[in-house]
Structure 1
């Protein structure tokens, strides 16, 4: 068996100029399957670990997935708002332990700005109920004295090099300021939309979490109200600019927010509180359980995931078929070689095993090269995915599903070699020594 393996390896190496392209196609197909499976798993893990310990997300009645995506992941369009009166009524429910209002809609150089209360840093958790930790500084005070204070995520601080005490300005609306990464253009973007008259001081930097929190600027609800005192209909009032210090003299309690995170005294009461929210008479509200909303999201995305996996499998199948075609095409040229092997004592089963092992060698080389290509590509792409999409690929041990896909490619390659091997098996010694023209 060992001698047969050696002969198969040397035979494949002698025909490397032809088989190298088969190896390349198998490597690309394997890398595609391996990467898609890791990406699918890590995206789901990243989403599921982005919020923990929150029993309900409450907002204006819309799509559950849309409400969760915008309030937790800051993706999509701004849904309808809910009144603070409804937030207060919800907090007075006997089964509710805490309520944290959220207000979104502004941005800072492409990063979303979240208006909330200091309780957000106490109750919001991620992963396995891990609380938010400050890497530096402290949370904003949430008072008039500390009106223009901001707590930034780890990615915001890293990307822009921010430190404690640095002043930042916010922009009205959700803008993409990627071109501002060039320092020469830092002050050139959307000057008309910037709240440059009311700068914020960075008082805290959160430790990395691997969630959308890393890409968020956190300020108080009162601060957002102060920013928009001299705005109406999404545009600044002409000649009505209110200085930053003067804003403290106004009533800055918000009238409405985007959504609210709700924690219950007992998980058993979740359906009772959800029913209270869904039939609330003052305005049309909706209570969403994060796990259920994520399940709906995966059901929608599942078809796309399966389609991508099917396309990748088709690419792998084409590569395997090309292996069979190359071996079959070269079989006529090798009939005399195989006949010589038969003449020196190799039996038909040895010929069958030889061609099968050659296919296995080629397939193994393609799969191994594909795994190296996939791992290297993911290593290089991880910083970009983290910066652009907030997705962190885990450079961890291979998933069982990834290993199963690689094994399937290996098995398919071996099975594809059986066709040419069976044909060679049936060639007679006389036919090999005197091939027909």
Structure 2
């Protein structure tokens, strides 16, 4: 009876009630959306790499090593000699390693040289393996495998030829034009920096840098056009020979490498062993720990988004209180009739609180429904445009449930003002 009376009262003022209802729905949707994106982004961030025990690079800061080796951001302070890499890779406690060679790019996207172990052992998102959407992994020196975002943004297909550039800028005047790569594979979307990366073999990296001892191609300045033409022909012939030959020689140095150990118990022992390696200055980090440190550095942005969403919700709830206050005078006859049939002032107070709770509760249900449907329909688009892979589980989590509880609590508190006004009005009303 009490709920029925509250619903009839709201229906009699359906115009203003609907406006308030939609305003709160939008606010709750924004608040839940921010929480969901924050949760999914944090989950994707923490799952950028999975199953990797150590990442090893030249001695630098922990975060810097993580940024350039995993997120392809920034630059290494130094390289690692191949001899040092082999010495650690051959340790009995090491099950497998993934060498990484960085330093080249293509139209603003990073190029990474690696080996077949990358496709065999690299994991992300809770032990998910890399899967090829098209084609195959690289086999020859000048094969290249693209991340999904690279292929989509640049419109590449299998069989296309790609010229890599020396350095990391989006534009470069030092291009490896004599050694184009052929696209042989395109990876499925992972929601990680893998999507933004072009993958080649270490042999391919060595091949395109042959004759680049100082970081730029060696060149001479011929005095005649005939000599220039002869040199160009010789360069083309050399390039053709490179394409026909699969380079098996090891590189002189790599940028970093990932390590999988035979036993998790050996992690800290191996980390100390690498950090105190006498051959050269090396640093080994635990990727999970360093990723957590990096996320904490981004906490300011996270809290700012939450604050903005909370302020939007507060504005809507204040609008709800203002609506209830504005209708008190119009509801004078209604309150008088209720008082005449024996309703107490406390009954009138409770009626306004229940009306506000009904509006907020309905708004929360609709906002949660819209978010669930919207997230399901836009999952592929979010993965394609923002590399944000939504979890297969329920969209709403414990954080979302806490937010909905706080919304209802805030509704009760804010409605105290019009409720007290209605209580006093009911006390004064005499029929």
* TM-score interval, smaller chain: 0.7 to 0.9
Choose which of 193, 201, 226 in structure 1 pairs with 2:182: 201
Q: State the distance in 2 between where 1:430 and 1:219 align.
A: 83
Q: What is the Cα deviation at residue 237 of structure 1?
A: 4.3
TM (normalized to structure 2)? 0.84
Choose which of 264, 267, 270 in structure 2 pairs with 1:270: 267
Q: Residues 204, 94 of structure 1: CA spacing in aligned structure 2 closer, same or farther, 3 A cutoff?
A: same
Which residue in the other structure is 1:245 paired with?
Answer: 240
Q: State the distance in 2 between where 1:128 and 1:380 align.
A: 23
Q: What is the Cα deviation at residue 375 of structure 1?
A: 4.8
Choose which of 338, 341, 346 in structure 2 pairs with 1:341: 338
- The residue matched to 2:159 in structure 1 has which SS? coil
- The residue matched to 2:278 in structure 1 has which SS? coil
Q: State the distance in 2 between where 1:277 and 1:429 align.
A: 79
Which residue in the other structure is 1:355 paired with?
Answer: 352
Deviations 1:230-284 (A, max 9, x none): 5466554445985423557899632222210111121111111111111123322
5 Å matches for 1:384-395?
Answer: 385-394=382-391
Deviations 1:116-170 (A, max 9, x none): 01122222222333333344443222xxxx2101122344445555444332332
Which residue in the other structure is 2:64 paired with?
Answer: 66
Q: State the distance in 2 between where 1:381 and 1:130 align.
A: 22
5 Å matches for 1:136-285?
Answer: 136-141=134-139, 146-160=140-154, 162-176=156-170, 190=171, 192-231=173-212, 235-239=216-220, 242-243=235-236, 244-247=239-242, 253-285=250-282
Q: What is the Cα deviation at residue 292 of structure 1?
A: 1.1
Q: State the distance in 2 between where 1:219 and 1:430 align.
A: 83
Choose which of 109, 128, 131 in structure 1 pairs with 2:129: 131
- The residue matched to 2:330 in structure 1 has which SS? helix
- The residue matched to 1:346 in structure 2 has which SS? coil
Which residue in the other structure is 1:299 paired with?
Answer: 296
Q: Residues 410, 100 of structure 1: CA spacing in aligned structure 2 closer, same or farther, 3 A cutoff?
A: same
Tell whether the 8 Å contact from 2:339 to 2:426 is kept in structure 1 after alignment.
Answer: no
Q: What is the Cα deviation at residue 220 of structure 1?
A: 0.8
Q: What is the Cα deviation at residue 380 of structure 1?
A: 7.2
TM (normalized to structure 1)? 0.83
- The residue matched to 2:429 in structure 1 has which SS? helix
- The residue matched to 1:224 in structure 2 has which SS? helix
- The residue matched to 1:276 in structure 2 has which SS? helix
Q: Residues 202, 364 of structure 1: CA spacing in aligned structure 2 closer, same or farther, 3 A cutoff?
A: same
Tell whether the 8 Å contact from 2:348 to 2:426 is kept in structure 1 after alignment.
Answer: no
Q: What is the Cα deviation at residue 101 of structure 1?
A: 0.9
Q: What is the Cα deviation at residue 55 of structure 1?
A: 0.9
Q: What is the Cα deviation at residue 27 of structure 1?
A: 2.7
Q: Residues 318, 392 of structure 1: CA spacing in aligned structure 2 closer, same or farther, 3 A cutoff?
A: same
